[in-house]
Structure 1
Amino acid sequence: MVTSAKSAAQGADLLALAVPAALITAVYVAQYAFGLAPCEMCWWQRYPHFAAIAFALGGLATRGTRLGRALVALAALAIGISGAIGAFHAGVEYGWWQGPTACSSTSLGNDPLASIMNAPLIRCDTPAWTMFGISLAGFNFLISVASAALILVLIGRRSKGLSR
């Protein structure tokens, strides 16, 4: 039982780092390689993933301790929060509810005022890209919530294995 608890611990630790790192990498590739500029709510989804990466790195650095387990659990929570924001954003995109009126632009150039005045507004209610009718926000929801749940299940298995 100790071996399965140890593998659950390693799985939780690695997922807590790999999932947000992969999602952040994917959105930056989409942004800079394919020109999909993020809206305000897209940015909101990134912030918890940045926090999750920091928590997961801390969890890996303190692996095998209570602090390490707590940091991995916080990473799972942050991943889940990003997924919840993604669900809200997807609902705005599908027209299920109204979103915030804030829009954003990412480039300021040499003349910040001219860049702001001439920058296109990136709407939160229009998906920049979809596959099978699911937007990036929808994929963030699906991947993040499932990953957060799996990490928490693995943490639970680890705890049960250690208590026996």
Structure 2
Amino acid sequence: MSAFLRVFRDHWLFWALLASALMLAIAHAFETFGGYAPCTLCLRQREAYWIAGTIALAGILVTRLPTQRRLRWMFDAAVALAFAYGLYLAIYHSGAEWKWWPGPTTCSGGGGQVSLDALSALADGTAKIKPPACDQAAWRMFGLSMAGWNALISLKLLVWSVIALLHDRRPA
């Protein structure tokens, strides 16, 4: 195995933390700079990265202690579960966008309370914000929506987590 891959595998928790932070930063950039308001499922998909990043950071801190290094496989497994949860959410969201199954009822842009200011803005025609819906892709690249790309990235991170887990689980 090449030296780069060995370093990558041996320091997986750091890379998982970095990947989680990067995915959250990208989502925030789409929202802030791109003007793409996240729907309910988009926000839930971010939870997986918050969870994985938190577990990875805890794992980095705990396994730095020489007596706790043997526990690294547990953190690898927990990070893998977090990425599996993210993969599930991304597939569910993509399927709702492709109309393979219905999305959550709370994600249609309705059901919430509307203020009088918002109603007057709608009446005046000055309202510029369309509520996001989980079953409509706001952005696509090469035919995949953000949820589709997130599914591929989550799958890749899950596979890498399992590889690290299998390596760290081997007896020394």
Q: TM-score, normalised by structure 1?
A: 0.81
Ranges of 4+ aligned residues in structure 1 off by more than 6 Å: none
Would you say the 8 A contact 2:73–2:169 is kept in 1?
no
2:71 matched to 1:52? Answer: no
Shift of 1:150: 1.2
Report which of the two structures shows the higher radius of gyration computed on alpha carbons.
2
- The equivalent residue for 2:96 is 92
- Report the equivalent of 1:109: none
- 1:12-161 map, 5 Å: 12-63=12-63, 65-103=69-107, 113-114=115-116, 120-160=130-170
User: How many Å apart are 1:65 and its aligned residue?
Assistant: 2.4
C-alpha distance in 2 between matches for 1:101 and 1:47: 20
Gaps of 5+ in 2: 123-128
**Which letter maps to 1:98?**
P
Residues 26/115 of structure 1: CA separation in 2 closer, same or farther (3 Å cut): farther
Contact (CA 8 Å) 1:40, 1:104: kept in 2 or not? no
- Say which structure, 1 or 2, has more relative contact order (CA 8 Å, 6+ apart): 1
Percent identity, aligned pairs only, is 29
> How many pairs does the alignment contain?
154
Comparing 118-127 and 48-57, the one that deviates more? 118-127
Structure 2 CA distance for partners of 1:28 and 1:80, relative to 1, 3 Å: same
Greater shift in the superposed pair: 23-32 or 55-64: 55-64
1:71-98, Cα deviation, whole Å (9 max, x unpaired): 2321221122111100010011011111
Q: Residue 157 and residue 68 in structure 1: after superposition, are their counterparts in 2 closer, same or farther (change >3 A)?
A: closer
Unaligned runs of 5+ in 1: 106-111
Q: State the superposition RMSD in angstroms.
A: 2.7
